[in-house]
């Protein structure tokens, strides 16, 4: 379920890009998975 979010996180973490989750689903995933907080 979170595979695409994991790929997005890894790619943006490597590139140093921050994410602003506008999609409610993406926002809920970022809120639930603390490992993803470093790219917000």
pLDDT tens for each residue of 1-40: 567 888 888 888 899 888 888 989 888 888 888 888 888 8
Q: What is the pLDDT of residue 15?
A: 92
Tell me how far CA of residue 21 lies from CA of 13, 27, in angstroms.
Answer: 15, 5
- Token pair 């995933």 is at which residue? 29
Whole-prediction pTM value?
A: 0.63
């Amino acid at each position: 379920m979170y595979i695409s979010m994991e790929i997005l996180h890894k790619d943006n973490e490597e590139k140093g890009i921050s994410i602003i989750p506008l999609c409610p689903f993406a926002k809920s995933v970022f809120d639930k998975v603390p490992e993803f907080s470093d790219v917000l």
